[in-house]
Structure 1
Amino acid sequence: MSSSSPLLPEGGGAEPTTKDQLKKGLRVCLFYLGTVFLVVFILAWCIQVFMYWVATNASGCSASALEGYDYPGGGVSEAGGASFNILPGISLLAEREPMWYGAAFDVIPSNEASTVAAAPAGTWWRTWGPIFATYTYEDVANSRTTVYMRRNLLRMGSSHTIARCDGQGPKVTFTEGSNFLANRVRKVIGMNQGMTFKIFMDDKLVAVAEETSHGFESLTFREEDSGRSESSSVLKERHFHGLYDLWLVKNDEKSILPNYVASATTLLLAFHTINHDATSKGAASNESPNFLEKPPPTLAAEQVLDEQQESSSSVTGQATAVAQAAEQAFASVAQKVADGASAEIREELPDRRQQPEEKKADQEAVDVAP
């Protein structure tokens, strides 16, 4: 006898298995995660474009804003004058207190003695961005933004572009390039000469920068063809005005690089040093010295301490009572001695009230005598 019930459920398909449900749930999760990632990515780039615009165009970093500008505060070298170098030949990079809108380093003219030679010529600003930070140089004379620096994306290792706001002069690229792997090996081994960077001017390799990662933090700039040292920078102080870093940047007069290149690249190392110190301090604070902590006393030890404190209090009270009794006895004896001495003195001394009467009687006797 045949059954009247259908062999397949209504709808013409089999019920979904657990595996099918997991696949469907996974696809839904991936869809929502991808949507969230896309929204965050677009939002991050929107914020980045806005912050970059604020740091550059909104601050006057444009060719029209700098047309005919004479760049006060710039040094002179064989490669060019103030309009070519923009920054002093010898300068100090002095860390400033970070503000809510960004961190900064003052550029202070210096001399061969590595001391302060004049008031600050300008300031390097770092403007935050969710993808990369933007660095700009603003002079003090007219508050003009003249140089900017930003990170190059999709490059292996550290890579930055340094350019003038007026669009003149060479575009400088400061990058690790093919030194990426060698730099990581030096860092792991702990070699004295740490990172090595290449410096391009309009896509032409003209110099290299060698970082010293141990001892004094420093950068040495050498010409690519001759190997001659062109510029250098070194961490001069770590307690400038009590708690800030101070870097010395020195450019040779025969250097083919503009002065702002050495200053800008030193700025990157300066911020890297600050961030590294902050990370090291945070790691050190998390490591608590447990071996110095005093373990909590046990119950028996607490009872012993209480008994010792009670015994000490009792002995102290008895000693105080004895001292008070001795003090009272001494005061009584001293009072008696003082009273006896006063009586003897009164007996020995004549009564001064009788002296005038005796003198008067003697005078009358003298007057009666013939």
Structure 2
Amino acid sequence: MLGTSRVHLERSSRGGVFTATVSIAVIGAGYWGEKVIREILILSRKTGMVSLRSIVDSSPDVLERCRKKVGPLDYRTDYQSLLSDPDLSAVHVCTPNSTHFEIASAFIKTGKSVLVEKPLTLCSREAYLLVEQARARRVVLSTGHFHRFNNGLRALKSTLEPTILGEPYYLGLEWTGISPLQDQGDVITDLAPHPFDITNCLTGLWPDKISCIARGYRNRENEEVAFISCEYESGLVVDIEVSLLDLRQRRNLRIVANKGTAQLDCLDQKVVLQHQHGVVNMPIIPSNILREEIEHFANCVSRNRLSQTFSNDNDGLLGAHVVTCLEAARESLAEEHSVKVTLPSLYGESVVMN
């Protein structure tokens, strides 16, 4: 399928196959945007599979700081002129959460593929609308759930085989750290997306019911710690702790299954198994998860533009389902009871719920 942008073809080193170089603009050059920019530049130098078309941020000061760090590139304070840029294939959106829908939708409508940092949007209706728009325009929509490219998580998933750990009984996830007072956002929106997505990545399941309690201590306006319990139709139970108050930065997951237990440190990508054969430290070579995510996105965009089949491991639909789970957690917090999670079907009906 051909879109509105020009596709630059390069000969791959593997079998003489032609692949498309993907021209990417980064929207938002703050803390995370800078990391994305650096990885795109490294991939551009090492593989030639991507090129950095432009860096956009509404703050001239942020752009100047970025310019000093990464050098002379195309810097802009407004993304509007990129919407009709024929040399632009895709954008990576690293802006505040409240802007995700507007920016992503604008680029999708002009035939550009989009990778949006988590959460995909702040409400599920907008999230599923983005999914529909991307399908209608036949472009790639991805969400920044980059732990799907974490080699530790991949190794842990491989243990959920009948001969190793077997069926999981329950999971516990700790996603904590100390953060400055939050002027905007809240701990559920900021930290809970990854635990919800990681659980789905491991099990292929989404919660049937969610209950949540949360508190704000330094700032009464926003929650700074939350405890989220998820029930699944299969009987699986998942407990998630997210905190902006804990001096210990933890990105941990624990599985208790019918043949043993496993612990994953998502930061170090280390997995420790305990089962009938004793304690095993799995041999894992850590992955650069952000770089792999960008590379995967570029591959999806390239194959899509050349009408080749592809599988998007962090598809926008996954991001939309995560937003639904976040909404259920917030509804449970407000109503003080567990909430049924309803995920719309994309088959045979609209996913946009009125």
More helix by percentage: 1
Q: Structure 1-normalised TM-score?
A: 0.21
Structure possessing the higher relative contact order (Cα contacts under 8 Å, 6 or more residues apart): 2
Greater Rg by CA: 1
